[in-house]
Structure 1
């Protein structure tokens, strides 16, 4: 299958923000470990190691199962329905959160004992 035509991946979609949309909107706990980008619509959510797991929640609720990393140096895709990695096309930039965005983030919201809260 042509990598530019994988169901669930729209390489022209752009990221919906610089951090997890739900955490930044004030949903508890309000911080994340790593960020994931919806490969269909660009929604940015927090990873499954993060306390709230907003990226997987978006995948379930939206019917957009394919996620890609929004972390520097990572370019993998993950199908949340099949629980499998897959190859995909280059996505529209930016392909990672801003370098000023700390990991975990966002700045000022991460508890001092953040490692204890990872799933």
Structure 2
């Protein structure tokens, strides 16, 4: 998967800060986690129904399935396309 941006796509567009990044395993959208103000990764799921995200900043080796609401193992982590700006 190729990440689409070097940070949360929506936060970068509006100048908002994020805590952690999540990568959509279907399309490469980079969104912020639910601890972030925007919760853009979850919003992306609700918009697209793409089910699996990856803990991306830093690469964490786990995934989350929104449909089944469970963690999933991701042995094929996506390398960071960096450097990723820090906003926390």
Q: TM-score w.r.t. structure 1 length?
A: 0.66
Give 1 or 2: higher strand fraction: 2
Tell me, yes or no, if the aligned pair for 2:53 and 2:63 is still in contact at 8 Å.
yes
Q: Contact 2:61–2:73 (CA<8 Å) still a contact in 1? A: no
- Distance of 1:83 and 1:72 partners within structure 2: 22
Counterpart of 1:78 (choices 36, 55, 64) is 64
Structure 2 residue runs of 5 or longer lacking an equivalent are: none
> Structure 2 residue aligned with 1:48, among 26, 34, 42?
34
The size of the alignment, in residue pairs, is 88
- Matching residue of 1:8: none
TM-score where L is the length of structure 2: 0.86
1:23 aligns with 2:11: yes
Which runs of 5 or more residues in structure 1 are unaligned?
1-12, 105-119
Divergent runs of 4+, >6 A:
none
